[in-house]
Amino acid sequence: MSNQAVATPSLANLRATSILDHEDANIQDLAMRLQGQEPEHRRLLQSAHRYLVDFVKPIYTVDELQPASQTLRRRRGSCSQRMACLEAVSRSCGIPTRSRVLQVSGRFWYPRFRVFRPFIPKRILLLWPQFFVLDRWIDFDELYAPAQELADRAQRSFSNDGESIFDAVDHTPVDFMAKTCRAECARPNFDLSRFVLSDEGFFDTRDEVFERFGSFHTTLRGRIFEAIYGGRASFSASCS
């Protein structure tokens, strides 16, 4: 774990893990193809993201311990599983990653699961990837452009009632850190920080986060969710 916002990467930010199993042949093949097309790291990550949006179809599931290679092989995954795929590809390309961990209010998911609301916990872990590009860490939500730039050209704010987080970040601010609420909060509609209950800091790997906090997938509520929604195809998946 690292609590330093400007910490330089370590070997832990590149190593393969149970979830980020980038030594898998399919992940390595994808990484090699992308590197051949886009050697510049930020554009490479954007290409990887666009590939995963098209190739890995969104479904409902809360199994965040699933290896990235399985998600890629099955071509289906939640937005959290697709984030893990993006991290795995990034690490395979030599681009360090880590997770910023937020405790987010269950109310954030109410628009997506109206019937299931009684089973949604009051707080849910959100693992927000960061990538070390051009000597600095960039958040997943600013993979394509700074949050304020995305806000200036976005047609609507992110409401979590349709498009998934993973699909939205190339054109809409998904702003849990109040980046768009600077300059006297000129664009408050884009600010999602009202849902953030606590910031748990930075962790070198997703695996470390679940070892520390546990996984919703293993709880009674998580098992009920998986029995009802697990594997169900959706045009946008819940991010759990």
pLDDT number for residue 227: 86
pLDDT at 235 over 70: no
Model confidence at 233, in pLDDT bands (50, 70, 90)?
Answer: low
The gap from C-alpha 163 to its chain's centroid, in whole angstroms, comes to 14
pLDDT number for residue 226: 84
pLDDT at 237 over 50: no
- Kindly state the average pLDDT of the residues 210-235: 83
pLDDT number for residue 60: 86
pLDDT digits (tens, 9 = 90+) for 39-87: 899 999 999 999 999 999 999 899 999 999 999 999 999 999 999 999 9
pLDDT number for residue 236: 47
* Domain boundaries, given as residue ranges, for the chain: 11-229
Nearest to 126 by CA among 231, 220, 238: 238
Long-range interactions of 6-11: CB distance < 8 A, separation 24+: 6/136, 6/137, 7/202, 9/96, 9/98, 9/132, 10/204
pLDDT digits (tens, 9 = 90+) for 121-168: 899 999 999 999 999 999 999 999 999 899 988 888 898 888 899 999
Asked whether 45 and 164 are in contact (CB, 8 A), the reply is no
Model confidence at 239, in pLDDT bands (50, 70, 90)?
Answer: very low
Distance separating alpha carbons of residues 18 and 178, to the nearest angstrom: 32
**Is 11-229 CATH 2.60.40?**
no
Structure tokens at 35: 């590197």
pLDDT digits (tens, 9 = 90+) for 77-122: 999 999 999 999 999 999 999 999 999 999 999 988 888 888 888 9
pTM score of the predicted model: 0.92
pLDDT number for residue 56: 96
